[in-house]
Structure 1
Amino acid sequence: MIGELSKKQIIDLMEQQVIGRLGCHAEDETYIVPINYVYRDNAIYAHSGEGKKLTMMRQNPKVCFQVDDIIDTFNWKSALVWGVFEELSGTERQQVMQSLIHRIMPLTNKPSEAPSHAIDQNKLDNLIVYRIRISEGSGRFESHESEQ
């Protein structure tokens, strides 16, 4: 059975996952990149070093974000949301950085090696922390169970 995810199912999927794909578009170029994130209060929170995605989102803050849970070819969930990028600063930036660290650290195999700049304390001050305020979304699933 193929069907649509309810708003609650989309939120549950966004809360359960930690990696999604961010899509941005500027100057006739579309760019899609995987990111670590935290979902809360109808927004995606993430971080980045300076680079292509930040340059593009600053030029055009309208973005999309996709996340999924794929068990196999015929058993999956996927959600796509649209929203607006905004950079964070001050206390809010610090709180989001802590949320990201607490969410990502338990998932690393060797936390002491700091495999991601999200966890590398020496690089935290150079990171841009941002939010994507979600304005709309949709989701689909495929399952052979009687209830999704």
Structure 2
Amino acid sequence: MLRDLTDIQIEALLKDQLIGRLGCHSNGVTYIVPINYVYDGVNIYGHSAKGMKIDIMRQNPAVCFEVDNIKDVTNWQSVIAWGKFEEITEMAEQVTILQKLTDRIAPHIIDDSVSPEHGFVDNEGDVGTSVELIIYKIIIDKKTGRFESR
């Protein structure tokens, strides 16, 4: 039986997960892609090299974000959030957010295959030096959640 998540459960799922799916749309093209993210209780923060996702969000900043925790087909939780893409251009803020992303994701990296293209660097001064790294936030204006548990 499908039921709604409470606000507390929605917040917990957004804070607990590492990977969500970002949906964007522009000029007749819809694009959905998994992203690493950090949620601070207000905004979702992410990073990306320049490419299709960034181009689409620059054209149309209205986006949708989905995160889930699936144990099996009858035991899962899902949250959908709608919001607005906004690039972060101030270097100090970029470094702060990239550090939060690194702190959140680094414990889950299982080998040394991560490269600067992933946005993770050894020194703060190396941010964005090997690729054009875009740091952004999704300003959330609506969230819903559903679950099934049997």
TM-score by length of 2: 0.90
Q: Which residue of 1 aligns with 2:38?
A: 38
Shift of 1:121: 4.7
Any idea what SS the aligned residue of 2:50 has?
A: coil
What is the rounded CA distance, in whole Å, between the counterparts of 1:3 and 1:29 in structure 2? 32
Q: Is the 8 A contact 1:64 1:80 kept in 2?
A: yes
**Letter aligned with residue 42 of structure 1:** V
**Letter aligned with residue 43 of structure 1:** N
Any idea what SS the aligned residue of 1:109 has?
A: coil
What is the rounded CA distance, in whole Å, between the counterparts of 1:129 and 1:32 in structure 2? 18
What is the rounded CA distance, in whole Å, between the counterparts of 2:120 and 2:71 in structure 1? 28
Deviates more, 1:3-12 or 1:63-72: 3-12
Post-superposition CA distance 1:31-75 (Å, at most 9, x none): 000000000131110000000000000000000000000000100
RMSD: 1.6
Q: Is the 8 A contact 2:95 2:127 kept in 1?
A: no
Q: Is the 8 A contact 1:114 1:120 kept in 2?
A: no
Q: Is the 8 A contact 2:11 2:41 kept in 1?
A: no
Structure 2 unaligned regions, length at least 5? none
TM-score by length of 1: 0.91
Q: Which residue of 1 aligns with 2:100?
A: 99
What is the rounded CA distance, in whole Å, between the counterparts of 2:92 and 2:4 in structure 1? 38
Query: Matched residues, percent identical?
Result: 47
Q: Is the 8 A contact 1:117 1:124 kept in 2?
A: no
Structure 1 runs of 4+ aligned residues shifted over 6 Å read none
The number of residues matched between the two structures is 143
Aligned residue runs from structure 1 range 68-79, under 5 A: 68-79=68-79
2:135 equivalent among 126, 129, 138: 129
Q: Which residue of 2 aligns with 1:65?
A: 65
